[in-house]
């Protein structure tokens, strides 16, 4: 399972991505529906989990602009797409090889492709 609790907002390649790990946010609610606030940015977002689908709808604190994210987990692969705070689409695919190694690839909101190989010791490169 990629989303374990809260979903912090991370900057990757100069754009905003809601990352599927727990940290830097305060959330209230049930495991199925949570309302969260990022402690680092002040962004607020709702997380809805239904089976293997995860939906996020948020508001950027700095601009008041909305953003969305939809993820579907199939086996060891997570397919995610969304709209950033400027309504530009992006997508990524994450494939988990082990509990400590995975790849992430996709296209950011300015249509720039990205690809990372990651592990728990080295991070991503």
Cβ(95)–Cβ(102) below 8 Å:
yes
Asked whether residue 2 is domain-assigned, the answer is: no
Asked whether residue 4 is domain-assigned, the answer is: no
So what's the pLDDT on residue 1?
27
CA quadruple 114, 19, 31, 61: dihedral sign: negative
Residue 95, beta-bridge partner list: 77, 103
∠ at Cα 40 (46, 60), nearest 5°? 50
Cβ(6)–Cβ(22) below 8 Å:
yes
User: What residue numbers bound the domain in which 29 lies?
Assistant: 9-124
Asked whether residue 75 is domain-assigned, the answer is: yes
Number of domains in the chain: 1
Asked whether residue 83 is domain-assigned, the answer is: yes
Asked whether residue 17 is domain-assigned, the answer is: yes
Asked whether residue 3 is domain-assigned, the answer is: no
Asked whether residue 95 is domain-assigned, the answer is: yes
Asked whether residue 1 is domain-assigned, the answer is: no
The pLDDT profile of the chain, 125 residues, written as one tens digit per residue, is: 233 333 333 443 334 444 444 446 799 999 999 999 999 999 999 999 999 999 999 999 999 999 999 999 999 999 999 999 899 999 999 999 999 999 999 999 999 999 999 999 999 98
């Amino acid at each position: 399972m990629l989303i374990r609790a809260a979903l912090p907002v991370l900057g990757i390649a100069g754009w905003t991505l809601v990352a599927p790990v727990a940290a830097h946010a305060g959330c209230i609610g049930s495991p199925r529906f949570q309302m969260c606030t990022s402690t680092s940015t002040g962004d607020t977002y709702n997380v809805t989990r239904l089976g293997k689908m995860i939906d996020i709808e948020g508001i950027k604190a700095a601009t008041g602009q909305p953003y969305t994210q939809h993820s579907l987990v199939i086996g060891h692969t997570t397919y995610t797409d969304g709209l950033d705070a400027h309504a530009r689409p992006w997508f990524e695919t994450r494939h988990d090889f082990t509990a400590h190694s995975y790849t992430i690839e996709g296209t950011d909101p300015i249509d720039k492709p990205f690809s990372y190989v990651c592990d728990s010791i080295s991070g991503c490169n």
